């Protein structure tokens, strides 16, 4: 298995802007209003004060790195528009974290925000030209009501062995007439914070020269079926990036109806080195029992 990553306080820090021509084919697709398959919780996000769900506590490499955990866990409303899963939150004053994406925010009054994951592929060459690589999911965020004081974008870079990677991170904004880079206000264990954000499609990116010696957080997904006594399996080692997981699950959706089962395996106890090869060993005491197809 190979693991690879492709691909400022706004108003104060300088931003490097790239023209429409440099963006090449990285166009922004507009989406219609949410109209279908909405899972509702009474019109608002479902607020939970229970234990953290998204934070990858299993990583022992960076368990000493500071992180803020004083936030309410909230489950988003979801809908599907032209095959794209949309997430929506309505929250009063407070600090929150989405249980699906790990997105965090702080607001001083009622807000409504909506977002979805975008594909990095159209921007992979652009990032290389800019000497950057992705450091987290690309989120298209829209504010329907109010403003945020802070937003904390999730990243999958492990800071346990190389804390100086904080200095190599920027926020990439994909806007209507180009892209720009913004300085990060603060980098914590799993997030990069920006203040008073003006939203577009945004993500954490990492200086390209640093990505050759970077440790990352990962997830493992196994698809398994038994047909005529033959075990058929597909194993995915993914960067801890919800958009990657969503893309894999969408790709494998048709296989689930053909006897495949999905297993979210335990994540590695520590970080893994980007652009390296890895082997997965199954302990003899572990059993996986998919349905047998004849």
**Strands 94-98 vs 72-75: parallel, antiparallel or unpaired:** parallel
| pLDDT of amino acid 266 | 73
| pLDDT of amino acid 281 | 75
Tell me which of 2.40.128, 2.170.120, 2.60.220, 3.40.50 is the CATH number of domain 16-212: 2.60.220
Q: What is the mean pLDDT of residues 258-278?
A: 80
Asked if pLDDT for residue 4 goes beyond 60, the answer is: no
Give domain limits for the chain: 16-212, 216-293
Of the listed ranges 39-48, 112-121, 166-175, the one predicted with least confidence: 39-48
**With 0-12 CB in 10 A as exposed, 13-18 as middle and 19+ as buried, what is 42?**
exposed
Q: Do residues 8 and 184 touch, judged by C-beta distance below 8 A?
A: yes
Beta strands in 136-217 (DSSP E): 138-145, 150-154, 157-158, 169-175, 178-183, 186-187, 191-195, 201-207, 215-216
**pLDDT digit string, tens, across residues 42-67:** 334 443 333 334 444 568 888 888 88
Q: Do residues 196 and 132 touch, judged by C-beta distance below 8 A?
A: no
Q: pTM of this prediction?
A: 0.74
Q: What gap in Å lies between CA 176 and CA 194, rounded to an integer?
A: 20
Q: What is the mean pLDDT of residues 13-38?
A: 37
**With 0-12 CB in 10 A as exposed, 13-18 as middle and 19+ as buried, what is 190?**
buried
Name, in order, each residue with C-beta under 8 angstroms of 251's C-beta and a sequence gap of 6 or more. none
């Amino acid at each position: 298995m190979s693991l690879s990553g492709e691909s400022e306080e706004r108003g104060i820090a300088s931003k490097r802007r790239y023209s429409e021509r440099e963006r090449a084919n990285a166009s922004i697709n507009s989406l219609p209003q949410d109209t279908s398959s909405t899972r509702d919780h009474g019109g608002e996000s479902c607020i939970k004060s229970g234990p953290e769900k998204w934070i990858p506590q299993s990583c022992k490499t960076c368990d000493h790195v500071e992180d803020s955990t004083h936030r309410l866990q909230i489950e988003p409303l979801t809908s599907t528009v032209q095959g794209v899963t949309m997430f929506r939150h309505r929250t009063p004053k407070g600090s929150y974290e989405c249980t699906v994406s790990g997105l965090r925010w702080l607001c001083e009054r009622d807000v409504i925000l909506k977002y979805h994951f975008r594909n990095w592929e159209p921007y992979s060459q652009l990032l290389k030209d800019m000497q950057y690589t992705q450091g987290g999911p690309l989120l298209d965020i829209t504010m329907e009501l109010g403003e945020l004081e802070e937003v904390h974008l999730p990243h999958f870079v492990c800071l346990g062995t190389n804390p100086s990677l904080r200095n190599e991170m920027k926020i990439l904004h994909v806007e209507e007439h180009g892209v720009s880079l913004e300085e990060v206000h603060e980098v914590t264990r799993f997030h990069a914070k920006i203040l008073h954000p003006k939203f577009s499609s945004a993500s954490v990116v990492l200086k390209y020269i640093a990505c050759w010696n970077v440790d990352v957080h990962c997830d493992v997904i196994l698809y398994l079926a038994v047909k005529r006594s033959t075990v058929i399996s597909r194993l995915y080692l993914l960067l801890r990036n919800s958009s990657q997981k969503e893309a894999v699950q969408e790709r494998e959706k048709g296989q689930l109806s053909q006897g495949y089962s999905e297993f979210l395996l335990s994540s590695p106890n520590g970080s893994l080195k980007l652009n390296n090869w890895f082997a997965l060993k199954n302990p003899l005491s572990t059993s996986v029992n998919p349905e047998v197809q004849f």
